[in-house]
Every structure is written in C-alpha cells, then in structure tokens.
Amino acid sequence: MSLPYIHEFVDRHDKVRRYVRRRGKKIALKADPSTPEFLMEYQDALAQTDPKKRTAPTGTWDALVTLYLGCAKFKTGLKDRTKAENRREAERIRVRWGKHPVSRLEARHILKWQDELAETPGKANNMLSMVKMLLKFGKPRGFKHNDPTDEIDELAGGEYRSWTDREIADFEARWEIGTRERLIFDLALYTGQRRGDLASMTRYHIDGDVMGCVQEKTGERIAVPVHPNLKASIVAFPSKGLSIIQRLDGKPLKVRELHDVISDAIDDAKLPEDCVLHGLRYSAARCLADAGATPHEIMAVTGHRTLDMVEKYTRQANKVRLADSAMKKLTLWRTRTERESG
C-alpha cells in the first residue's frame, strides 16, 4: 500500500488484513483496496486517529488540498468513484508538497515527480492533471501563483487506445459466444460503457430491444439498442441470476473481478499489453464513427457530454478516413495529369 499509516498482514486463514495505525490507535479497513469505499474508510480512519483538527499553514499545498476536499463541488458535485479518485490524487500531492507554499511551485518540481513515475505514464498524467486542477481551483480563492503546468506535456503511453479490427477478430476467435469472457467483451463493445456500469447491468436494464443504464461517473441516462451480437451472447450465456455478468455461482461479478477476468482473457488471446477493457469503449466510438455516425449520435451511445471527448475517442477513425480521402484525391490528380500529358 502506498498510502501512509496503512499496515497489512496475512492472518492464519491466509487472508490479507489491513488497518490504519496512527498515534497509538489501530482501525481495521474492510473494503477492497481497488474500490472507492476503501479510500473513504481510510479517510475516516485518519480523522478518528487525529486528536484535533489542525489548521494548515496559509498558502501551502496542505491548505489548498484541505480547501478542495471540503468544497461544495467536491462533496456534492462528483460521483463516489470520481470523488475517491480525486481524493487519492490530491492526498498524494499533500504528502509530497504539503508544507511547501503553492506560490513556489516550478516546472522542475513537477518534472522531477513525472520522471519518477515514467514507468507508469498513466499515474504521471493523473498527477499532472490533478496539479493543474488544484492550481485552477485555488487561484480565485486567494492562492497566488503562476501555473507551470502549461509548460509540461503529458507522457506518451498514458492514454487508452481503440482496439484494431484485427485485435477484435482475434479475441472473438479465441472466445466463442456462450463464454463469460465473450459476454463481457460484447457488452463493452456494443454498449460503449465503462467497466463499473458493465458490472452493474442486470436483466432489468433490458427493455425489449433496448439496454438502459444510468452512468455511475456522470449520472447520464443511457438507452442503447441491443446489437444482435450482444443479444446472442446474452442468450447463450448460462445465467443463474439477474446480473448480466456473473460469477460462476450466479452472484454479481464485482468491478475488480470483471477487470481480472477480461485481462486474463486478453492475455490468453495473445493480444498486445495495451489492449485493455477500457479500450473497447474507444473501439465502440471508433466503430460508430467508421459506420458514419455523427458526433451527437456517438454521444447518445457513450454518454459523453462534450464534443471534445467524442473527438478524442474517434481521433483514430477520423485520421484513417481523412487519409483515405486524401489518397483518393491524389489518385484522381495523378490520373488527370497523366491524361493531360498524353
């Protein structure tokens, strides 16, 4: 565990136990570390082991993080999962820079941290994004500073990508309809939803030929027509319960378990390491773009709120389409010039 004050051990039943030990107090943490609930438990334990509320020095990162975590937008304007992710990133910044004035932040400080996280570009980019957000949050609230994040680029490799048509075909060839792995794959590809929403889908979400859900992250209500391939996977899977994606005993598959099942399936299909579950959300948007869907039509399926995000998800499809159009124009131009030159 990378969070301070956390200790863990394996008990006599070979089960990992975790707890916060601080100032002579010991508080057990029961939630799965991969869930937002774990960070909530962690924060509660820190509060219980703090004998008194301290006042962070004015103008420091400690004060800025405290102000952010206590603001109305953070408390009421974010979904639980987003709130937990933001809290985790903000607390990491507090641990590293807490006592230092925000006004003294320079690009070299961020670059040093970024270099330390070079082997995990996703974490480095999350750090940069949170620093940028905190600086923007703090400026109208009296924190005096320049924003050095404008001078720093994100690391390559920290972004998800769409699966290629060949990779999609290879996965389908390895996992036939009727397997749980193929059901997860088809549900992700033909609804374009995030893994938390995939795990929460039940048969109650299917109304005739429409699959509906309320996105956990954004609160957007989505209604997507059930693609024939997805319908075939749902019908073929031997269901024992209401959840669409289940454990072998019929109980709902948790988000982390879903991630592990599909990761193992991807490895088994011998696909590249950057083929991941969230990439199928990109694939859904790309395939819709390839089929001629408009950005607003894609937004209706994926639940994205801005055209900028749709552009990000369909950038690859647009490049291929534009390149194809350019080469056709080049072919016509060469044909015309050759004809004119005799």
- Structural domain boundaries in the chain: 1-53, 64-158, 165-321
* Predicted pLDDT at 177: 95
Number of Cβ within a 10 Å radius of residue 1: 12
Sign, CA dihedral 200-203-205-206, equals positive
**Averaged over 298-310, what is the pLDDT?**
84
Question: Hey, is 171 helix, strand or coil?
Answer: helix
* Predicted pLDDT at 342: 61
Contact 32, 258 (CB under 8 A): no
Residue 115 tokens, joined: 């270099």
List pLDDT tens digits, range 254-270: 888 898 999 999 999 99
- Give percent of the chain above pLDDT 70: 95
For residue 35, how far is the Cα from the chain centroid? 13
Q: May I ask the CATH class of domain 165-321?
A: mainly alpha
- pLDDT at residue 53 above 60? no
For residue 259, how far is the Cα from the chain centroid? 12
Cα 216 to Cα 220: distance, rounded to the nearest angstrom: 8
- pLDDT at residue 188 above 90? yes
Q: pLDDT class for 321, splitting at 50, 70, 90?
A: low
How far apart, in Å, do the first and last CA atoms of the chain sit? 74
Q: What residues does 246 pair with on adjacent strands?
A: 252
Residue 204 tokens, joined: 């109650």
Residue 51 tokens, joined: 């004998």
Amino acid in position 266: I
Question: Hey, is 22 helix, strand or coil?
Answer: strand
- Stronger pLDDT, 74 or 217, i.e. the higher one: 74
Q: pLDDT class for 226, splitting at 50, 70, 90?
A: very high
**Averaged over 128-146, what is the pLDDT?**
91
Cα 111 to Cα 132: distance, rounded to the nearest angstrom: 13
Question: Hey, is 202 helix, strand or coil?
Answer: strand
- pLDDT at residue 36 above 80? no
**Averaged over 272-293, what is the pLDDT?**
90
Cα 339 to Cα 342: distance, rounded to the nearest angstrom: 5
